[in-house]
Amino acid sequence: MKEIGIVTLLSVLAVAAAPHGRSDKVTVFVTSKSAQSFDACLAAAHVGAPSGFVLTDRGSQREIQLKNIAMDGPEARGVKQCL
């Protein structure tokens, strides 16, 4: 339960700090889902891997980086939905 709270907190902070619209900044999300589970969720959300998308395995967590993605766009919504 503590992990879910930390993931949620990090996600909220990343979304709050992210600029609106497109920019050259990188937004980072963290999830405890496996890479396969996260990928399956994105596919189910009909998003696929956005062009500015990087998924990095950090042991017990996965780090999702979005670059030049509008935070209110379909790619970011799909990533947030799958956290």
CA distance linking residue 30 with residue 46, whole number of Å:
20
Half-sphere CA count of 52, side-chain side, radius 13 A = 18
Question: Cβ–Cβ contacts within 10 Å for residue 57, how many?
Answer: 10
* Count: domains in the chain: 1
Mean pLDDT, 10 residues at a time, the chain of 83 residues: 64 63 76 89 76 86 88 86 88
- Parent domain of 65: 2-82
Distance CA 22, CA 8 (A): 23
Which residue stretches of 1-83 are H helix? 2-17, 35-44, 74-82
How confident is the model at residue 29, as a pLDDT?
A: 92
Q: What pLDDT, on a 0 to 100 scale, did the predictor assign at position 25? A: 78
